[in-house]
Amino acid sequence: MHNFEEELTCPICYSIFEDPRVLPCSHTFCRNCLENILQASGNFYIWRPLRIPLKCPNCRSIIEIAPTGIESLPVNFALRAIIEKYQQEDHPDIVTCPEHYRQPLNVYCLLDKKLVCGHCLTIGQHHGHPIDDLQSAYFKEKDTPQKLLEQLTDTHWTDLTHLIEKLEEQKSHSEKMVQGDKEVVLQYFKELNDTLEQKKKSFLTALCDVGNLINQEYTPQIERMKEIREQQLELMTLTTSLQEESALKFLEKVDDVRQRVEILKQRPLPEVQPVEIYPRVSQILKEEWSRTEIGQIKNVLIPKMKISPKRMPCSWSDEGTDK
């Protein structure tokens, strides 16, 4: 602590002087501190008409106090004025107690190993704790950093360094394992995706093939039926126009139209029957693929799809060959 601040501190309570009183031996103490000493000594002056003896806490001199007690001691006005001025000023270099306003941390609590102020010792949570002055506490703890440094550089910390290196090595090894597993996962699902993509293409190709079979089955029939319908429409137009012809022209054309109508009517129409597609993709996916393990998908074969037409045999008068 700063020397000037020490001069403002009561040697009994270690706080800034409050109502400083001067003993005949010239030593100054707080009035309350002297009251407590007087009461503790058993010299209850309220029962004594004579002067009251008091031993100075500093020089141990026996002081006789008037029957009026501590109140009879003179006030150290000069010191009180200095204290009042000191408390009005800011002292950023002085560390004060966070619990007691403007009280300097000027005592070392040996029990809690921390700096405290006088109020902490008298009315605070450090009341009754063993204490030491700052200078003595400093010299006692002065060699502690070197001892702590020796503790922080012994074989224990060498083992710690080796442990850190081992943990970092294990961490790196584990991270490589995880990275390797990531690559395995990516490769596995790439191959699986490629397999599924190939199977999908095979399914779609098979469906395109069966679609071509359906087209080959129905398109010629549809074209022939359209041809018959066109002939029908043509004869209808021709028959209607006969009604507007003269008798000579009518008789020349009517028999020809009649024969063409008879020939057209004799052309049989096919019986329309649906074709059967087998096997069906929905059944394959449901019955076979849903029970297939992922690892065996590449071994699953894509069946060749076919159609089974169910139609009555028919002949075409205008065709020279069968379908």
In a domain, residue 320? The reply is: no
Domain boundary among 112, 144, 176: 144
In a domain, residue 157? The reply is: no
Taking residues 9-28, report their average pLDDT. Answer: 87
Whether residue 205 is found in the same domain as residue 260:
yes
Contact 199, 297 (CB under 8 A): yes
pLDDT per position as a tens digit, 149-171: 888 877 777 888 889 999 999 99
Q: What is the domain range of residue 71?
A: 3-144
Contact 9, 16 (CB under 8 A): yes
Band of pLDDT at residue 319, cut at 50, 70 and 90: very low
CATH number of the domain to which 36 belongs: 3.30.40.10
Residue 128 has pLDDT above 70, yes or no: yes
Task: Say which range, 196-205, 211-220, 294-303, has the weakest mean pLDDT.
Answer: 294-303
Indicate the residue type of 18.
E
DSSP string, 32-94: HHHHHHHHHTT--GGG-SSPEEEE-TTT--EEEE-TTGGGGSPB-HHHHHHHHHHHHS--TTS
The more confidently predicted of residues 258 and 272 is 258
Contact 239, 265 (CB under 8 A): no
Taking residues 4-25, report their average pLDDT. Answer: 84
| Most confident stretch, 61-75, 163-177, 237-251 | 163-177
Indicate the residue type of 120.
C
Distance (Å, rounded) from C-alpha 211 to C-alpha 143? 97
In a domain, residue 322? The reply is: no
Tokens linked to 24: 């005949």
Residue 54 has pLDDT above 80, yes or no: yes
Q: Which residues contact 206 (CB under 8 A, 6 or more apart)?
A: 302, 303, 304, 305
In a domain, residue 61? The reply is: yes
**What's the confidence (pLDDT) of residue 96?**
75
Band of pLDDT at residue 223, cut at 50, 70 and 90: very high
Whether residue 138 is found in the same domain as residue 197:
no
In a domain, residue 88? The reply is: yes
Whether residue 19 is found in the same domain as residue 68:
yes
Whether residue 122 is found in the same domain as residue 207:
no
% of the chain beyond a pLDDT of 70:
88
Mean pLDDT of the chain: 81
Taking residues 74-99, report their average pLDDT. Answer: 77
